[in-house]
């Protein structure tokens, strides 16, 4: 239970002020423990960051991808689940903020989450490309669509929508915008 409280405090701190500005002392205070107690569970700030990111991924996988087929075996299922992730995120601003703040900070190669975000983007791009390949093989991609690099465009769209949504949540419907773009690409409705 204490570990979960620390992870929640760290999640909130990293999402609000970023990794570099987050204070272990403040996180410890936010969850009612001493800095020493926090360090008992997470010996370094880097280890705490890794735990927060791993927990975020675990929850997303559990909620949306636990029983999912590989993207390459069913592109429609992949994009349907991706839309559900975006819908979920629009109800959980902390998740979006955490990702936006940390991914920006992690563009610096010395940031402890730099490797995590490189791997995360490679995984997202690979899955999206495989899903598009499956849809293309099944003749479900509209004829005018150029597949080369489209996986980058889709991931960039999601990231850009998240930033716009953080700035003006009442004006951006992330899932609706993503669904509209996918309709321009896929010739059938994505459930």
Q: Regarding predicted confidence, which is higher, 73 or 56?
A: 56
Tens of pLDDT along 161-187?
999 999 999 999 999 999 999 999 999
The percentage of the chain sitting over the pLDDT mark of 90, rounded to a whole number, equals: 66
* Contact between 98 and 56 (Cβ < 8 Å): yes
**Pairwise CA distance, residues 26 & 15, whole Å:** 14
Angle ∠(162,77,180) on CA atoms, nearest 5? 45
Q: What's the burial of 114, exposed, middle or buried (CB within 10 Å: 0-12/13-18/19+)?
A: middle
Residue 121 has pLDDT above 60, yes or no: yes
- Tell me what pLDDT residue 92 has: 84
**Pairwise CA distance, residues 108 & 92, whole Å:** 26
Q: Given pLDDT bands bounded at 50, 70 and 90, which one contains residue 73?
A: confident
Q: Given pLDDT bands bounded at 50, 70 and 90, which one contains residue 70?
A: low
- Tell me what pLDDT residue 177 has: 97
Question: What are the angstrom distances between the C-alpha of 51 and each of 4, 20, 42, 74, 136?
Answer: 10, 16, 8, 31, 37
Residue 160 has pLDDT above 70, yes or no: yes
- Tell me what pLDDT residue 180 has: 97
- Tell me what pLDDT residue 11 has: 87
Tens of pLDDT along 90-112?
988 888 888 888 899 999 999 99
The reported pTM is 0.83
* Contact between 2 and 41 (Cβ < 8 Å): yes
* Residues whose CB falls within 8 Å of the CB of residue 142, separated by 6 or more in sequence, listed in order: 184, 185, 186, 187
């Amino acid at each position: 239970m204490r570990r979960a409280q620390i992870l929640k405090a760290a999640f909130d701190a990293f999402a609000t002020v970023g990794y570099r500005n987050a204070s272990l002392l403040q996180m410890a205070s936010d969850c009612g423990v001493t800095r020493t107690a926090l360090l008992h569970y997470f010996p370094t700030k880097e280890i705490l960051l890794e735990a927060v990111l791993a927990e975020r991924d675990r929850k997303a996988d559990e909620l949306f991808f636990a029983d999912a087929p590989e993207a390459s075996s069913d592109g429609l299922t992949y994009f349907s689940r991706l839309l559900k992730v975006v819908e979920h995120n629009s109800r959980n601003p902390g998740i979006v903020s955490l990702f936006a703040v940390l991914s920006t900070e992690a563009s610096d190669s010395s940031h402890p989450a730099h490797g995590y975000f490189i791997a995360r983007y490679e995984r997202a791009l690979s899955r999206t490309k495989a899903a598009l390949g499956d849809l293309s093989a099944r003749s479900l991609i509209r004829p005018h669509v150029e597949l080369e690099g489209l996986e980058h465009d889709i991931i960039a769209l999601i990231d850009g929508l998240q930033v716009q949504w953080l700035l003006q949540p009442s004006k951006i419907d992330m899932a609706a915008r993503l669904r509209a773009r996918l309709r321009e690409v896929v010739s059938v409705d994505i459930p």
